[in-house]
Each structure stands twice: as structure tokens, then as C-alpha cells.
Amino acid sequence: MSNIIALIQARMGSSRLPCKMMLCLHGLPVIDWVVRRTALSRLLDGIIVAMPDTPLDEPLARHLEARGIRTFRGPEDDVLRRFRLAGEAAKASHVVRICADNPLIWGGEIDALIRHYQALPDQERAYVYNHIPLNNRYPDGFGAEMLSFSLLRELDEEAVEPRHREHCLSFIHDNPERFRILTFDPANPRLHRPDARLDLDKPEDYRKLALMPLTPDMPPEEVLAVYPA
């Protein structure tokens, strides 16, 4: 029986935009946008915010816990280990990695990712993504990444370079001959906008999103309709 768990990677210690998870975006903290829009998925079995176990992240942890949102705290820089431990704690069969830098993540596109993965005739060593416009026509920021927990555990056991520990699935992209790396285009042609960048990394990204007339449950077609030309 499958247990598909979304692990939202979040932290307060970003050097380019400190404490961005608690920045107010149209009346809600950024992390609330991420969790709320992830929860619109119909195929996820659970959602966990996987965050560092540092004092700086304590306000974020208390904010989430006060709202009944499940959290897991682990190493700050060893994100791969943090994800492996969070997946173990949740008894996940599969993990959907979501970056909290994507406040406009959309549950429907998470479900598209899961369906694409589940339709594979051979899921062993498969990694599927739709979060970035790499070999697909997705905008940057609506989707996620998916793999089995057994493959995540293998990555944790094999990856040793610091960059593979911090960027927890980069080991897959750096060793394409060992894995099935798959992606796909959005089913809706209105989402074929690889030019659109909706992630939150720098102050100018926050300014752009803050000036767009967004609402927390706005579907991606409407988001792109107000995206600056």
C-alpha cells in the first residue's frame, strides 16, 4: 500500500532573502501559501514541512505547529539526510519534494506529477519532475519532484559531496546514466510558459509577487494571466 508524502523543504536562514518563509505575501506568510496550495492535491497522503533544527527556525516551527501543520526538524545543511529521516518518520513509500521557495505551487500539478509517475511501466530508479522548465514547457514554480523512498534512502547512503547533501536530489541529475530522469508538459496548453519564473529567491522576486494581484487559491491559469509581460 502506497504512502505518498509531500516533504516541503523550508528554512529561515536564506542568505539572499532572510526569514522569507514568514514574509507577508498578500496577507499570509509565504509558508502558508505553500502549505495551503500543496494541500489542494487529491493524491497526497500527507504533508510534512522538513525544516532545520536551529534556533533561527524556531519561530517558523511554532507558527506551523500552532496551525496543526506537521513538521520534522533535522540537519540544516545536510538536507538529504533531513529528507531521509523525515521520510522514515512518516513511513513514506514515495516522497514528493516541494521547495518552499515556490509559494504558487499548485495541488493539481502535484497530482499530474503523481499520475505521471504511477503510469510508468517500471518505476524502479525513476525520478519525475515538473517544477522547473527543463526539457518541458512548465513555468518555474507550479510543480514538484517525485521518487520512491527506497531511492531517496539510496541517495543518502551514496552521496558524499557537500553539494549533493545540501541540494538533496542533485546527485540524480549529476549521474543520469544511473537513473530514469523523466518529465512531461502541462496538459493545459495555457500553462506552456517556460518563460515564467514564479519562485521566491531574491528581494526582487518578492517585489514582483507582491505587486501581482494574487489570491491564495488562484489557479495557475489565472496566475499566468496576471504575470508581468
In tens, the pLDDT along 173-197 reads 999 999 999 999 999 999 999 999 9
- Read off the pLDDT of residues 134-152 as tens digits, 9 standing for 90 and up: 999 999 999 999 999 999 9
- Read off the pLDDT of residues 19-32 as tens digits, 9 standing for 90 and up: 999 999 999 999 99
The pLDDT-based confidence of 229 (bands split at 50, 70, 90) is confident
Choose among 44, 179, 34: nearest CA to 114. Answer: 44
What is the predicted pLDDT for the residue at 213?
A: 98
> Is it the case that residue 1 has pLDDT exceeding 80?
no
pLDDT (average), residues 117-139: 96
List of domains in the chain: 4-225 (3.90.550.10)
CB atoms within 10 A of CB 73: 18
Q: How far apart are CA 199 and CA 95, in angstroms?
A: 21
pLDDT (average), residues 104-114: 98
